[in-house]
Amino acid sequence: MLQVKRGFPLSACAQNVRGSAIRDLLTLTARSDVLSLAGGLPASDALPRERIAVAAERALRAPA
């Protein structure tokens, strides 16, 4: 059994845990060439605010 800090053993299941896909995606958000909308972390200064406002207004006016 694998030992961790303070000598607590990990179960066989815990020993096989791999990295999180979400954690891997969030690593990419640090890149300057990536505009990520994942995890609610968009770079607000890079968003086309005017285009979003026009699209939202158009969508809200359209009949259902």
The mean pLDDT values, 10 residues at a time, for the chain of 64 residues are 61 77 79 73 79 93 79
pLDDT at 6: 61
Whether the model pTM is above 0.85: no
What does the alpha-carbon distance between residue 42 and residue 15 come to, in Å, rounded to a whole number? Answer: 34
- Whole-angstrom CA distances from 38 to 27, 35, 59 are 11, 9, 23
What does the alpha-carbon distance between residue 23 and residue 34 come to, in Å, rounded to a whole number? Answer: 15
pLDDT at 7: 64
